[in-house]
Amino acid sequence: MHRGLELALFFLVAALMILSLYCVFQVVPNEVTMGAVQRIFYFHVPSAWVAFLAFFVVFVSSMLYLATRRLLWDVVANAAAELGVLFCGIVLFTGPIWARPVWGTWWTWEARLTTTLVLEMVFLAYLVLRTQAENRAQAARLSAVVGIVGFLDVPIIYYSVQIWRGHHPIVFKSSGGQGLEPIMLKTFMLCMTTFTLLFLLLLAMRIRLGLLQEWVAELKEQDSIPGA
Amino acid sequence: MRAHSATLTICGKDLRQELRTRESFTSAFFFSLLIQIVFSFSFDFQSLGLGFEDVGAGILWITLTFSAILSLQNSFLIEREKNCLAGLALCPCDPSAVFLGKFLANSLFVLAVQVLILPISSLFFGYDLLRVLPGLCLVVTVNAVGFSALGTLFAAISVRTRRSELLLPLLLLPAATPVVIWGVKATRLCLAGRPLDSYGYLVALSACFGVIFTVAGVLLFDYVMEE
């Protein structure tokens, strides 16, 4: 992406983030039953959305890499996988903070939680695989296969965990969905937009960094050839 | 070479190699045995008053999962010696036939270990194997084959990396969550003496998992084998 565009996006995200924080802590009222802790939901759910979006980007760019063999797609897949793991980590971190006062426990093996945890593990393994490959092209090829298989696995894992645990009596719907106050919904949509744009910004920056890394590796390789 | 004959040739090659060296089977079998022994120390059935139906499914599945990982790993590690991987990649057949051959051989290895381990576990933990045998055979076979489908693809990936022994469990265990969950649940129902109707859908789901990842393996194996 063009540097100017990236800079513009940076300032947009910064402004939206401040606005989001203001709305979350100053504008929206306290939720009746859950109290102040429910506010974490404005960051928790957008992070989950961004994580899934990121893993979808991994899936698509992995397929594009295998089809076209352009290194760019591998750089995109790697960037998206790192961000997916990051945002998935935020989900797994903020979830328990919310669950402790509301559900009375830090962790429960509910379908969505378990799926998120397993998903995090799948893509952590993806990142480990990338560091273990013997050369650059191999890292790209093997991780593309894992990226595709890992993403295909997500709905199956979700379904299997649902069968395992049955339906948890308290689901996230109690804090969202139809019963949401208009101001809460607006704030929620604002946070969703902010996080999506934050993801795009980080993705663009990571891709640019990734391409620079490729370039440096290429230069080093040229340098190491004797007589070159 | 026709695809099905190439598949059988690769599978036959692995079986022959295994019959001559018995490396994979012996290590996987002893490993399974050791896991069972550790479990009998961990859960003192007699003094805790636990029945095998309560925790048996878990014990059987942990044993199967870990010993299967060992067999899967070995099936590609043997190809690394003398650069046999390049030989496999150069086979005058479709790469998917190599995948299917390996997958078939791996499924047989995993099941062969179970054939010996299930009677031994019934001796160790004192449950009536014959009563649950038909159901248990079905559950173990379908899930072990599903596990091997994904496992064969991931073993081929991890063998290409520097620390393959480390990588396969990291890749396979989270991704194989569904078969483990369905396998444990179906085994528990089976050990509790429930009829097939009560867990048949779980077996069907595991079969679907196996089919999905066999197809994925057939389609993607080409990219894994490339040099």
The predicted complex's ipTM stands at: 0.89
Write the residue in A66, A148, A157 that is nearest to B177 by C-beta: A157
Closest CA to A149 of B107, B108, B62, B158: B158
CB B221 within 8 A of CB B95: yes
> How far does Cα B25 stand from its chain's mean position?
12
Give the containing element (helix H, strand E) for A86. helix A71-103
**Selected residue of A109, A145, A154 to mutate for chain B interface (largest B Cβ count, 10 A):** A145
pLDDT digits (tens, 9 = 90+) for A16-32: 999 999 988 888 887 77
What pLDDT does residue A179 have?
60
How far apart CA B192 and CA A143 sit, in angstroms, is 42
How far apart CA A177 and CA A181 sit, in angstroms, is 10
Beta bridge partners of B53: none
Q: What is the mean pLDDT of residues B163-173?
A: 89
Q: Is B157 within 8 Å of A129 when comparing Cβ atoms?
A: yes
Please name the residue of chain B whose CA is at the shortest distance from the CA of residue A160: B178
Number of domains making up chain B:
1
CB contacts of B154 in chain A (<8 Å) are 146, 149
Is residue A174 predicted with pLDDT exceeding 70?
A: no
In sequence order, what are the residues at sequence separation of 6 or more whose Cβ sits closer than 8 angstroms to the Cβ of residue B178? Answer: A153, A156, A157, A159, A160, B205, B206, B209
Structure tokens at A187: 């704030």
CB half-sphere exposure, A16, CA atoms < 13 A: 20
How far apart CA B120 and CA A192 sit, in angstroms, is 56
CB B105 within 8 A of CB B75: yes
Confidence category of residue A169, pLDDT binned at 50, 70, 90: very low
What pLDDT does residue B1 have?
59
- Distance from A76 to chain B by nearest Cα, in Å? 19
Q: Which residue shows structure tokens 């550790």?
A: B38
* Residue B117: φ, ψ to 5°: -75, -35
- Distance from B174 to chain A by nearest Cα, in Å? 6
What pLDDT does residue A170 have?
45
Domain ranges of chain A: 3-28+39-223
Structure tokens at B24: 């994979």
Q: Is A142 within 8 Å of B160 when comparing Cβ atoms?
A: yes
pLDDT-wise least confident of A167-171, A191-195, B110-114 = A167-171
In sequence order, what are the residues at sequence separation of 6 or more whose Cβ sits closer than 8 angstroms to the Cβ of residue A177? Answer: none
Q: Which residue shows structure tokens 């540097």?
A: A3
Rg (C-alpha) for chain A, rounded Å, is 20
CB contacts of B177 in chain A (<8 Å) are 118, 157, 160-161
CB A14 within 8 A of CB A202: no
CB B145 within 8 A of CB B171: no
Confidence category of residue A227, pLDDT binned at 50, 70, 90: low
Q: What is the mean pLDDT of residues B127-150?
A: 92
- B-side interface with A, Cβ within 8 Å? 150, 153-154, 157-158, 160-163, 166-167, 170-171, 173-175, 177-178, 181-182, 185, 202, 205, 209, 212-213, 216, 220, 223-224, 226
Domain that holds residue B187: 3-43+50-225
Confidence category of residue A178, pLDDT binned at 50, 70, 90: low
Closest CA to A127 of A91, A80, A94, A92: A80
Confidence category of residue A171, pLDDT binned at 50, 70, 90: very low
**Selected residue of B61, B99, B150, B157 to mutate for chain A interface (largest A Cβ count, 10 A):** B157
DSSP B176: T
Please name the residue of chain B whose CA is at the shortest distance from the CA of residue A129: B167
How far apart CA A150 and CA A141 sit, in angstroms, is 14
Is residue B197 predicted with pLDDT exceeding 90?
A: no
Angle between helices B95-125 and B52-80 (to 10 degrees): 140
Write the residue in A121, A145, A164 that is nearest to B220 by C-beta: A145
Is residue B68 predicted with pLDDT exceeding 70?
A: yes
Question: Is A35 strand, coil or helix?
Answer: strand
What pLDDT does residue A113 have?
84
In sequence order, what are the residues at sequence separation of 6 or more whose Cβ sits closer than 8 angstroms to the Cβ of residue B46? Answer: none
Question: Is A181 strand, coil or helix?
Answer: coil
How far apart CA A145 and CA A67 sit, in angstroms, is 12
How far apart CA B79 and CA A104 sit, in angstroms, is 52
Confidence category of residue B56, pLDDT binned at 50, 70, 90: confident
In sequence order, what are the residues at sequence separation of 6 or more whose Cβ sits closer than 8 angstroms to the Cβ of residue A204? Answer: A1, A6, A9
Is residue A57 predicted with pLDDT exceeding 60?
A: yes
Confidence category of residue B130, pLDDT binned at 50, 70, 90: confident
